[in-house]
Amino acid sequence: MADYQEAPLASRPKTLDPSEYFSLSLEQRRAEEDRAALRANLKRQYQLQLNNPHRKELIEDPALTRWVYARANPYQFFRPTNKTSLLGIMFGVVPLFSLYYIFKTDRVWTDSALNSLMFLPKIIQKCYILSEMVS
């Protein structure tokens, strides 16, 4: 703990804060011990299932099952936030308007260029102008 150096953009974790590390209340220590005991018990049960030589079925992990279900059904668990709204606008609305602008300006530019005979070679432009004068 003495050689821990704080990162420039991150604060010190609460578990490594010296003022919090040694001055835990009895309730906080008991809660941490209970959580550690629960984790140790779950780990022991998993290790027993994993190392059972007579195992015939798969080991079911409820957390993994919940995660797979949430990944398979994203719309039931969708929460609209500022980030999702911004992403929806950036990938849904902005491309439509930008493509409309590109196609519209290209069409206007092409029409004006064709009307001014900019694309035609010089000899054809002269012939076209002469034919316009004659008729």
Per-residue pLDDT of the chain (135 residues; tens, 9 = 90+): 567 677 788 777 777 776 676 777 889 889 989 999 999 999 999 899 989 999 898 888 888 899 999 999 988 888 899 999 999 999 999 999 999 999 999 888 877 777 776 666 677 767 777 777 776
In contact, 1 and 18? CB cutoff 8 Å: yes
In a domain, 4, yes or no: no
Query: Are both 67 and 118 inside the same structural domain?
Result: no
In contact, 20 and 40? CB cutoff 8 Å: no
CA–CA dist 84, 78 (Å, integer): 9
Cα angle, residue 44 at apex, residues 40 and 48 outer, rounded to 5°: 175
Query: Are both 20 and 71 inside the same structural domain?
Result: yes
> Is the whole-model pTM more than 0.95?
no
In a domain, 47, yes or no: yes
**Dihedral angle sign, alpha carbons of residues 125, 126, 127, 131:** positive
Query: Are both 67 and 99 inside the same structural domain?
Result: no
The boundaries of the domain holding residue 50 are: 10-78
In a domain, 110, yes or no: yes
Both tokens of 27, joined, read 């309730």
